[in-house]
Structures are given as structure tokens and as C-alpha cells.
Chain A
Amino acid sequence: MAQKSWQLSRRELIRGGGAALALPLLNGMSWGRAAAGKDLPKRMVVSYISYGVYEPKSEKGAHHDWSWWPCKDPGPLTFNKSAAPFEPLKDSVSYLRGLDHAGGYALGGHSSGDVFATGADMVNKEKTNNISIDQLAAKVNGHKTRYASLVMGTEGGTGSYGNCKTLSHYGPGRPIPSLHKPQDIFNRIFKPYAGKSIEEVRAELKREASVLDLMLENSKSMKNRLGKDDQGKLDEYLESIRALEQRVERTSKWTQTPLPEVDSKGLKLDAPLRDPVDYTRCMYDLLYLALQTDSTRYASFMLESESSTQNEVGKFASFALGYSGQTHDIAHKRPHESGLWDNWRAQQHAYFLKRLRDTKEGDGNMLDRTVVLWGSSHPHGSHDTKNYPIHLAGGNALGFKHGKLHAFEGNKKVPLANLFVSMLNAVDVPTEKFADSTGKMTEVLA
């Protein structure tokens, strides 16, 4: 399968277009408006693993050593073999059982990943997907950092309906392509001016702003000549042009703030997919650096999509563990490697969480101010779309309380979107409702 290139070099464009603009209108990220105030940042990360997790039933009531769930009963966490990597982070993690998006029920296991971060009802109410939580947060608070959000994936692009390769959606029917090439991500975040001087960049941005302004004017006059129903449709266009304008504005403003000095040394930016440990860690490192430099506060990371069978990401389990089939097959066949695979994924995620925890910030550490969701909307191999594996970490300083396994089953069932509301509130998005939420999730709040 030919991999789509999402890293069209801007330098190339500029060269080709005479001295056209070096406008860093970056994919999946936008410029912050003003420097962060004295308040410490509040951050949110959503990440996704695919093809479900191992949920074996053990005999005689014991908890299975290799179940993805760390322990059997709700209450304080104990860690089995599979979840062991999170043991050192005990006070910063929670496991939540029985949560899901009703909107994903009818999508089927391999498509429900589309709505993990959106909770949209793609089959019935909405024909298209809807805004994701990271993007809602970015809309509200994205102006505080250089980039409103960072959208990462291992496969890149948007994928198509039912095969999303991104978690982030700008709004109905507008997926945001995920970035998957480490070097590309590094350049976009830390070297956005592509070697140009600040003065050059500013002059170009100024011109760009006046051109976009004229474009907006042009479209408005066109709108008035359209039929009534069509006028509404043109608003999408106007909104998009305005968004580009805003980005230009932000970019200009942020040229006043020096870029963070980040050295790519120590980052394996050329890590191949065939080396999943190096590659995944490099991606996590970039995510960490983006947060640490306060380049952005909201990020999504699709660690695997639900349709990776046609590319190398679908073979991570083979590359990492020597498993003989596709990662997808692990979910169906559930060989003894299943637990090892879950454990491998846990190791990578724990690596990221630890980096956050080990970085001081204010009185605490970065993890305390970053709430991280990690899970899947495809619980196990049977293509079921209920009761997701959900792992929540960090944000202790944002109001979260950890260390327990919570069960939301039977009459305790609530929508996963309730957690989303609480996550959004924790990062200063004052919303009462998200997707099909019915309230907040007080169980995980201090």
C-alpha cells in the first residue's frame, strides 16, 4: 500500500511558487494568540489503541494475570502482569470499566474508533462525525499557546469513514489529518519558519493577511448572490477562511515570542516503523516536548487505527514481540502473546506518563497538570462496541483523583461522554454537556 505523503515540504512549495508565502498553517495545529499568563497550563491528551485488549476470564474467580484490567474488583488498584508498567504510577492512574459511546454501537468494532474522541452518533442522528474533545478545548483555549492542538497518529492522514486514522475532528464531517512522521512533526513544531528570518516571515504574513481579507470580502459578496439554502452552506467556507486568517494573525503575534530551543539530538526522528519501540517512543517524546515547551496543551494520538492491516503499524506486534501474524489477528486468536502485547503497549504509555511525572512544574509535576486518556472503543476480538477499556491518568492538580478501578456497570452505567465533560471542565472548558453525556463523572474527581 502506498503511504500517502502528509509532509509536503513547505520549503518546496515556496521554492516552486516563486517567493510565495511560508505561512506555517500547520495541520492539526494552529498558532497560539498570546503568551501564556502566569497561570500554569492545564493540558489534555487523548490516545487510542486498536483491536481491543485481552479480557480473559479466569477459573475459580481469580483475576487473570494477563487481563488488560489490572485487578478484578472495583476499588484500590492492584496490578497484574499486563498492567504492571503502571504500578509505579499508581497514584496517578485510574481504570474505568463499563463506559462507552452509545453512538458507536452500530458502527461495528472496526469503525467505532472513529467516534472515540467525539462520541458522535454516526449511524442515526448525525450522518458525519462531530467535534472531538481535544478540538473543543482547542477552540476555547487554543489561543493561549503557539499551536491550538497537536494531532498525531502512527498512520497519518484522516483515513475514511469507518477507518479513521485520526482522533481529531474539527466539526461535523471535518476530520483533521494526523501527523505521523517524527521529523515532520519536529519541524512543524520547532522549526516552523523553515530557515527564514523573522522579518521575512512577518512581511509574508502581513501580505497573506491582506490577501485573505480580500478573499473574505469576495466570498461575502458572493454569498449574497446565492439562493437562500445555499447561503447557509457558504458559511462553512467563510468560517474556514476566517480560521485561516486567525492562524495568520496568531502566527504573526507568535513571531514576537522566540521559538523554544529544542535540539533534535537524542530524538530518533528517523526511527522506522519496523522498530516500534523507537518509533513509538520518539512520537511520545515529541508529544512530551510539545507539551513541555507549552507549544500546545491539547493533543490526540492515534497509536493504532482499526484498519492497520495493510501497513506496517499492523505488524507492530510482530516487530516488537516476534508474533507471527498481524496485530489484528492477536485480537481474534488470542494466543499467549495477547497479554504480552497489551503489556508492551502499557510500557510505551507508561514511558510517556513517567516523562511527564518526572518533569517538575510549579509545586508538582507535569503529569499533575495533564489529564491523559488512553483506551479503545473496540473492547475485544468479537467486534463488540460496548464497555471500552478506559485508562485515565494524571491531572491530579486539575481535580482528578486516582488509584482505583471504577465499574460503571448495570444500573451504574453512564456514558463515556460524562468523563469527557469532566476532562473538559478540568482544562477550563466550561461545558455542561458533550455528545450524549448525562452529567459529570464525580467518581474520578477529588
Chain B
Amino acid sequence: MPDMKRFVIAVVAVIATCGQMLSADIPPGPEGFKSRVAPFFKEHCVTCHGPEKNKGKITLHAIDGDISTGREVERWEQILKALKSGEMPPEDRKQPDEAQRKEMVEWIEVGLRDSIAKSGMVVTVPTARRLTNFEYQNTMRDLLGFKLNLIKNLPEDPVKPYKFNNTAEYMLLGPEQLDRYLENARRAMASAIVDPGVPKIHKSEMKWQARATDVGLGSNELGVYGNRRGTPATGMGVKSWPTTGEYRVRVKASAILPPGTTELPLRLVMGYNLNQNLAMLQMEPVGTAYLRNDKEHSQVFEFRGRIENYPVEPGIVGKDGKPGPPSLHITPQNLYDDGTLNDDLSFQKPRNVLLPRAVIDSIEFEAPLVDVWPPEHHTRILFDSPLRKSDPKAYVREVLKRFISRAYRRPATEEDVNHFAKIYAIVSDKLETLEAAMRETLSMVLISPQFLCHTVSEDNSLRQYELASKLSYFLWGSMPDDELMRLAAQNRLDDPAVIETQVRRLLADPRSRDFIDNFTTQWVSIDKLKSVKINTALFPRFLYLVPAGERKGTEEPYRPTIRDYMHDETVAFVAELIRRNAGVSNVVDSDFACLNVPLAAHYGVEGVTGHELRPVAIKPEHHLGGLLTHGSVLVGNSTGSAPHPIYRAVWLREAILGEEVKPPPAEVPALSDTAGDAAEKAVSIKDLLRKHRQNESCNACHARLDPWGIPFEQYNAIGKYQPKVPAASVKMVRGFDKKIDMDLAGYSTYLNRINTVPVQADSEVPRGPKIDGMEQLKAFLLKDRIDDIGENVLRRLLTYGIGRELTYRDRVEIEKLHQQSKQNNYKLQDMIVTICQSPTFRDFQTKPKGK
């Protein structure tokens, strides 16, 4: 790679020149340290970070003044960050003047660059790692040509807030994991390769006739809250079904839509019979039809999927101790949701008739589908060829070669084929048919390290294919497609123009949604959203609760709820930003949000129709825009009853500003303990935090933390804009009480009566202005911190893309990418293109070159 080498030299040269230019004030290296830097530390830092005190376990009195030795670069990076951001020295200490601060920053930067130049540009960390479960699942899907749910059988991948788990240090492999891979591989091959002969076809059908009932819903109707037994609400038991194969479900349906509603999402799920009031039922979705047709115009909607993915309900053990027959059930669900579902929880109440109803004429089930037999996923592996008869050995080798080339994401070598031909010989000894022996042999391909791991070859011979995989695993979370493989074969994937075309193509493909979901969920750390326990007395309308039985009072587990939509909202928003090639400022504030009816109802945005998320223009009075006000963020970082300014502050600094916030030390006392008696009198969380900060050991961290969370106080625990809170005289806010409030409107009146005081949302961020509320916070971030945010998003994408943590050695390259991106207003799609073109992304040599 001659061009790479040239590039490295060029960068080094540039740095060297800059170095001389910038270090005019303080002499570079140890000399400057002695004359200027050490005295600066002594004056500003050593009191707290020295022999007497070592706050944050950092001491500066004995630091190595020669950065270029590389011994303490991480420490120097920390110092640089603290100085640059103004985080240190703390505000209540003597401040260096700006010129001095700048000099210091420059001296450290030059030192760091020298150090990098000296040690070589190439980062030497292992990048070999197993596929994440997410990548594995997608790869199997694309390799086999159908989707099997295999992830459930694997040990869960680690999840850490604000970290990506696709790095070598998290993606470890052990016997248990391998054992599960083997199980999965065999399961997958059992489905992929079918036996000769057309299999038996299983069919079930159920029809419903229109008849009036005493609950107002016809006997072929399905209300939001269900309906009686014997109506479509109870669904259909599938009489018999195959163990593998593609199924088809057809539903003939229409909708009764009250004025003002335009559609009804009708979802079908298959698995256990859901008409049991239990918490542990299992099912998987079949698909969702959006009904817009009226009763006179019934339509047939068709769904296909793999029968293997659906949980079969085991039979109940009878008195004789033997289990009864297993069952499989299809249940239709009326997913209409306008945010008021919890107002009335019974199908016998009138609202069930007033909300949209589905009319279901029939449901049909058929499996396996034999229109094309053997199915394509079979012939893709065991293709038709005269060889099969004339020269079985050659046929086997050809089958192996084709499959291995796809599974390994690079052309199979003679050696690879020999290897598996040997395995084939062993297993075919006992397994009589070609199909059976091939299933077992290919299962072994699927537990090979070449399939399970991302690796980098030593001699660069596979570089082009590795690049193809890098691109596809970054932007699809899956294996490269034919086009990428072709470009790799043609040696064209180092061409920046080709990379650009490919990145945009990959991003335009629906598979990129997998990447955006996986990336966003980890970056913005929104997993917490689902586990926060919502105080349903305070927020009676937010969730959709089960009205009775064992699950009473818990969130309906078998249908998507507002929290699922909130997750989708965040993912859809980021996807839309990338699609539009919008700038990173949209992360802070945007003129649109991605909403559907339930979300719009929640946020109070009118005029949104439809249950699929779509970009919606928003106005200032909605108090939305950007990521900061997403329900996923606000609910996930609340207590379920109240907002949590510290969680939200940590979130803002970690996810958006890209700062690392240390977890509280173990000996830290709880918030209310430190405020002591004062806690009783503290009327607001803001006061409570102020009192917490008065405790010196807490103050050091909280002074830098709390101010960021206070402006979020305008948004309540369920992520709604709520600018007013109860006055100090209100001792306690009581929850919804039917006896007192009569109905939700009554509770709302009560809340309006007590919520009279504007919430205290004013704070002063470190080295920033006074900020009052979310709008001012956003304005400040856009004005003063956009470069930090841009760099953060860039770093996150790069980290995710290369599958390793960035180190100080990446500084130079990141700075370059940052400048490039900045000049382009941090446009996100372009940013991804530049990342994929960068040497950091493309150059995954694991040892220094040019030795």
C-alpha cells in the first residue's frame, strides 16, 4: 500500500511544521515543561492534585514532563481535556488568564502529536472479535435467505451505558457460546436444506359471521379492548403445522372508523394462546395491516414468515402425568392507540365501540409453501447440476466452495474446500443422504472462526474483502452483498469515489435501519426506558395496563406500547437525519420530529394521523425538536415519578457532549442523607441538590454535573413538557383517585389547581452563561458547544465503525476528520462517508508498518 505510507509521512510532516509554529511561546518538550508548565501546575493544580490531596486520584506534581516518551499520554490527554473545556481549575479557584490557558493547551497538543509521530500512526490493538449477536443474526439471515430467530438461544451480549459492545474486549468467545452456535447452525441447516419430495401441507381456516352481541360489538369485530369469546378477539388455533418451512397467513378484514380516524393497525401474532391472563405467554408478531377500507370493501392481507420462529405452547400435563398436545395460536390485535387507552379498560364499556373496530371475516394459515419446491434457499446451496449424478464428489466440492465463499465473506480457497470435504466424508459415512450429510458439514462451516469472527489477515491478501465486510458490518450489521464482493474482487474498495457511492447505497438500503437502531440504542443509551417503573397513580394515562387477573396493573406485555414507540421515535429520528444528510445541530434542535398518533397525543402535537412513524413539522409551542426532549431520553432518565436531573445531566454530558462522567464513589451518601434535616424543608429538587453540593465531598463532582440537568426539569417523568409544579405549600401530590376525581378530567383539574408555580429550571453551567430552561440550554449548546457535539458524534460513529475504542493515537486523524466535517456543517451522511474513506477506518493493520 504505497499510497498509505505516503499519507502517513505527509501527516507527520504537517504536524512537525505546525508544532514549530504553535510552540513559539513555550519551548516544546521537557525544556518548556520545566520553565513554564511545571510552574503553571504548581500555581493552579497541585494544591488539589498533588502530594497533599489527590482529587479524582490524579496527581500532577510528579508527572513526566516529556510527553513524547509515551509513558503518560493518557494522563496528558486528561489534563488537556480539563484545561480545554475549562473544567479545571474549578470556578471557585484562581483562574489562569485565557492566553495562558491557550498556551498550555497548545504545548500539550504539540507534545501529544510528537508522541504519536514518534510511536507510529498505526494503532496496535486487536480487532479480531466474534460477531455480536446482532451481527450474527443478520449474517445468518443474509447468508440463508430467510430469517430465523437465533439470537434467543445465545448468551446475551454485554450492554454498558454509552459504550458500543462490538469491540474485541467485549466480544469474547467461550465453550458455552460455541455450543450454542453449533445448536443454531444445526437448526439453521435443518431449515435451509429440505428433504427430497414435496412435504405435506398444513392448512387451517377460521371464519366469523356478523351477529350482534350484548356488548355492542358484532361477533366478527375486534375492539381495542378485545371482545367476547368466539369472536376474532380469541383468534384461531392452528390445527397442525410443520416444524420447518415458510408459512402464509391471510386475513380478510375491514375497519369501522369513527369520524376523525383514518386507519386501524391490525396486528397478527402467533404463539401461545393469549386469552389467558398470565404474564409469561410467548408469541411473535406475524405482521401488521393498516386497515383503511370500510366494511363494504373487505380486503385480504397476506403475511409470510418462518414457522420455526414461533413459540409453540406446550400441552398441559393431565392427571395421568402425560402432557397434552401442544398448540399454536394466531391472535389478531387492534393496535389503535390515541394515548387514552388506559382511560377505560373493559371491552364491555362504550369506548370500545367508539374507538375504531376491526371487522375480521376470516383468517387462513398454510405451511409450508410449496409454490416453488425445493425452495430457493435450498437450491441456493444444493443447486441443480448434472454433476450431482455424473460426479458426486465434484458436486460436493462445488457446493462447499460456493457456500464457504459466502459464509467466509471471501473466496474459498482450495484448502478450505479440502478441509470441509474431509468433514463431509466423515459425516456422510453414517448419514445416508446428501442432504443430511451436507447439513452437518455446513453446520461446521457455521462454527468456523472465519465465519464467526471479524479477523484481519497478516499479509493483506484479503484486504479488499475485509474492507467490504467493514463497510457492510458498519452500515448494515451484516455480511457484504454481491456488489460489495464484486468490487472487492475488482480491487476497487480503496477508491474514495467508490467508497462514497457504496456508503450512500448501503445507507439507502433498508438494512441500514438495523445499523441505525443498534448504533443509536447504544450511543444514546435508551435501553433504560423500558425498565423504569412508571408511577401509574401520578400518570394514569401514560401506560396501557392490564385491567384484571394475575397481570392486573402491569403494562400490557403483548402489544407495542408508548415506550416501544418512544424507542422507535429516537431511532427513526436519527435515521431521518442521516437520510436527509442533515447537520449535527439537529441533534440539539430540529424543526421536525418523528411521530405517530400515540406519540403525537403524548406530546400534544395535533394533526398527526397514522400509526407508522413519520417526520412531522413541529412548532415552538410543542417544546420538541432534537434528541434532548425525546421521551426515550427523558423517561429513561427519570425515576418514574419525578424527573431526575442528575441522570439527565449525566446523559447530556456523556451522550451529547461526549464527556466521560465518573460514577459516584462507593462511599457516597444518598442525596437526602447529605442534605440532612434540610431535606424535609427543601421544596424542590434544585434546592435539594444545592444542599447536597454544600457537602464538600459531593461538591467537586456535582458542581460540574447538576447545572446541566436543571433545565430538563421542565419535562416531567414521562417526558412531557410540564412547566409548572406545585407550590411549596403543597406537601404531597396525590395520585389519581376515582372516588375524588371522578374521572381523568377531574384529576387533570386537580393537577392544574396545584401546579401553579413555574418549575425552577435555571442554572449556571460551568464556564457558561445563566440558563433558564430547555430552550436556552439548546441555544447555548448550539452556539457554544456545537463543535464538541460534532466531534462527539463523529467519534461515536467512528468507534462503532471500527469496532474498537479510540486512543490518543487516533487524535491526529480524528482532528482531521473533525475539521473536514465542521466545514461541511457536520452533515451526517457526509460524515459517515468521510469516516469510511479515512485511514483510521480502512487501515486495520494490526502492527506498525514500514519497520
> CA of A385 to CA of B426 in the docked complex: distance in angstroms?
54
Which of B82-90, B173-181, B333-341, B343-351 faces chain A? Answer: B173-181
> CA of A214 to CA of B175 in the docked complex: distance in angstroms?
17
Task: Determine if A2 and B282 form an interchain contact, defined as CB atoms under 8 angstroms apart.
Answer: yes
Residues of chain A within 8 A of B426, CB atoms compared:
207, 210-211, 214
Residues of chain A within 8 A of B177, CB atoms compared:
174, 240
Chain A residue at minimal CB-CB distance from B243:
A16
For chain B, residues 438 to 462, give those with C-beta under 8 angstroms from any C-beta of chain A: 439-440, 443-444, 447-450, 452-453, 455-459
Q: Is B430 an interface residue (CB 8 A)?
A: yes
Task: Determine if B172 and A236 form an interchain contact, defined as CB atoms under 8 angstroms apart.
Answer: yes
Residues of chain A within 8 A of B279, CB atoms compared:
1, 311-312
Residues of chain B within 8 A of A382, CB atoms compared:
670
Q: Is B311 an interface residue (CB 8 A)?
A: yes
> CA of A270 to CA of B320 in the docked complex: distance in angstroms?
13
Task: Determine if B663 and A123 form an interchain contact, defined as CB atoms under 8 angstroms apart.
Answer: yes
Q: Could you mark each residue 171-196 of chain B with 1 if its beta carbon is under 8 Å from any beta carbon of chain A, else 0?
A: 01111111110110011011100000
Q: Is B289 an interface residue (CB 8 A)?
A: no
Q: Is B732 an interface residue (CB 8 A)?
A: no
Task: Determine if B280 and A312 form an interchain contact, defined as CB atoms under 8 angstroms apart.
Answer: yes
* A-B contacts, CB under 8 A, total: 225
Task: Determine if B456 and A226 form an interchain contact, defined as CB atoms under 8 angstroms apart.
Answer: yes
For chain B, residues 126 to 147, give those with C-beta under 8 angstroms from any C-beta of chain A: 126-130
> CA of A128 to CA of B158 in the docked complex: distance in angstroms?
8
Chain A residue at minimal CB-CB distance from B156:
A160
Contact of B182 among A25, A171, A172 (CB under 8 A): A25
> CA of A233 to CA of B435 in the docked complex: distance in angstroms?
34
Known A-B contacts A16-B186, A128-B172; the reply to A230 vs B846 at CB < 8 A is: yes
Closest CB-CB distance, B642 to chain A, in whole Å? 16
Task: Determine if B152 and A4 form an interchain contact, defined as CB atoms under 8 angstroms apart.
Answer: yes
Task: Determine if A13 and B176 form an interchain contact, defined as CB atoms under 8 angstroms apart.
Answer: no
For chain A, residues 1 to 38, give those with C-beta under 8 angstroms from any C-beta of chain B: 1-6, 8, 12-13, 15-21, 25, 27-28
Known A-B contacts A171-B174, A215-B448; the reply to A17 vs B155 at CB < 8 A is: no
Q: Is B160 an interface residue (CB 8 A)?
A: yes
Residues of chain A within 8 A of B152, CB atoms compared:
4-5
> CA of A247 to CA of B178 in the docked complex: distance in angstroms?
12
Task: Determine if A228 and B155 form an interchain contact, defined as CB atoms under 8 angstroms apart.
Answer: no
> CA of A160 to CA of B458 in the docked complex: distance in angstroms?
34
Q: Is B419 an interface residue (CB 8 A)?
A: yes
Which of A190-198, A216-224, A338-346, A417-425 faces chain B? Answer: A216-224
Known A-B contacts A173-B172, A177-B176; the reply to A18 vs B433 at CB < 8 A is: yes
Q: Is A159 an interface residue (CB 8 A)?
A: yes
Task: Determine if A227 and B453 form an interchain contact, defined as CB atoms under 8 angstroms apart.
Answer: no
Task: Determine if A227 and B847 form an interchain contact, defined as CB atoms under 8 angstroms apart.
Answer: yes
Task: Determine if A227 and B456 form an interchain contact, defined as CB atoms under 8 angstroms apart.
Answer: yes
Q: Could you mark each residue 368-399 of chain A with 1 if its beta carbon is under 8 Å from any beta carbon of chain B, else 0?
A: 00000000000000100110000000000000
Task: Determine if A240 and B174 form an interchain contact, defined as CB atoms under 8 angstroms apart.
Answer: yes
Chain B residue at minimal CB-CB distance from A102:
B666
> CA of A90 to CA of B34 in the docked complex: distance in angstroms?
69
Task: Determine if B457 and A174 form an interchain contact, defined as CB atoms under 8 angstroms apart.
Answer: no
Residues of chain A within 8 A of B153, CB atoms compared:
5-6, 8
Residues of chain A within 8 A of B311, CB atoms compared:
2, 5
Q: Is A336 an interface residue (CB 8 A)?
A: no
> CA of A176 to CA of B178 in the docked complex: distance in angstroms?
12
> CA of A177 to CA of B152 in the docked complex: distance in angstroms?
12
Task: Determine if A225 and B457 form an interchain contact, defined as CB atoms under 8 angstroms apart.
Answer: yes
Chain A residue at minimal CB-CB distance from B447:
A215
Closest CB-CB distance, A309 to chain B, in whole Å? 7
Task: Determine if A237 and B846 form an interchain contact, defined as CB atoms under 8 angstroms apart.
Answer: no
Task: Determine if B155 and A233 form an interchain contact, defined as CB atoms under 8 angstroms apart.
Answer: no
Q: Could you mark each residue 7-46 of chain B with 1 if its beta carbon is under 8 Å from any beta carbon of chain A, else 0?
A: 0000000000000000000000000000000000000000
Q: Is B429 an interface residue (CB 8 A)?
A: yes
Task: Determine if B458 and A232 form an interchain contact, defined as CB atoms under 8 angstroms apart.
Answer: no
> CA of A144 to CA of B157 in the docked complex: distance in angstroms?
32
Closest CB-CB distance, A326 to chain B, in whole Å? 9
> CA of A218 to CA of B441 in the docked complex: distance in angstroms?
14
> CA of A176 to CA of B156 in the docked complex: distance in angstroms?
10
Known A-B contacts A227-B845, A244-B179, A310-B531; the reply to A237 vs B452 at CB < 8 A is: yes
Residues of chain B within 8 A of A15, CB atoms compared:
243
> CA of A226 to CA of B126 in the docked complex: distance in angstroms?
11
Task: Determine if B128 and A229 form an interchain contact, defined as CB atoms under 8 angstroms apart.
Answer: yes
Residues of chain A within 8 A of B280, CB atoms compared:
1, 3, 273, 311-312
Chain B residue at minimal CB-CB distance from A26:
B179
Q: Is A84 an interface residue (CB 8 A)?
A: no
Chain A residue at minimal CB-CB distance from B422:
A214
Known A-B contacts A215-B447, A311-B280, A386-B666; the reply to A234 vs B128 at CB < 8 A is: yes
Closest CB-CB distance, B157 to chain A, in whole Å? 7
For chain A, residues 167 to 183, give those with C-beta under 8 angstroms from any C-beta of chain B: 170-177
Task: Determine if B427 and A173 form an interchain contact, defined as CB atoms under 8 angstroms apart.
Answer: no
Contact of B172 among A174, A217, A307, A385 (CB under 8 A): A174
Task: Determine if B847 and A237 form an interchain contact, defined as CB atoms under 8 angstroms apart.
Answer: no
Q: Is A320 an interface residue (CB 8 A)?
A: no
Q: Is B533 an interface residue (CB 8 A)?
A: yes
Interface core residue of B178, B452, B550 (most chain A CB under 10 Å)? B178
**A residues adjacent to B (C-beta < 8 A):** 1-6, 8, 12-13, 15-21, 25, 27-28, 105-106, 123, 127-128, 157-162, 170-177, 203-204, 207, 210-211, 214-215, 217-219, 221-222, 225-230, 232-234, 236-237, 239-241, 243-244, 247, 270, 273-274, 307, 309-312, 382, 385-386
Given contacts A19-B431, A162-B160, 15 further A-B contacts (CB under 8 A): A3-B280, A5-B153, A5-B282, A13-B183, A127-B169, A128-B172, A160-B158, A207-B429, A225-B458, A226-B455, A233-B128, A234-B455, A236-B174, A240-B173, A244-B178
Please name 24 pairs of A and B residues whose Cβ atoms are closer than 8 Å in the assembled complex, sorted by A: A1-B280, A2-B281, A2-B311, A5-B311, A6-B153, A17-B436, A20-B443, A106-B663, A128-B172, A162-B160, A174-B155, A174-B172, A176-B155, A211-B440, A214-B419, A214-B426, A214-B444, A222-B455, A226-B457, A229-B127, A233-B126, A234-B453, A273-B280, A307-B531
**B residues adjacent to A (C-beta < 8 A):** 124-130, 152-153, 155-160, 168-170, 172-180, 182-183, 186-187, 189-191, 243-244, 279-283, 311, 317, 415, 419, 422-423, 426-427, 429-431, 433, 435-437, 439-440, 443-444, 447-450, 452-453, 455-459, 531, 533, 550, 557, 663-666, 670, 845-847
- Smallest CB-CB A-B distances: 7 pairs: A18-B436, A16-B190, A105-B666, A174-B174, A230-B128, A227-B846, A243-B175
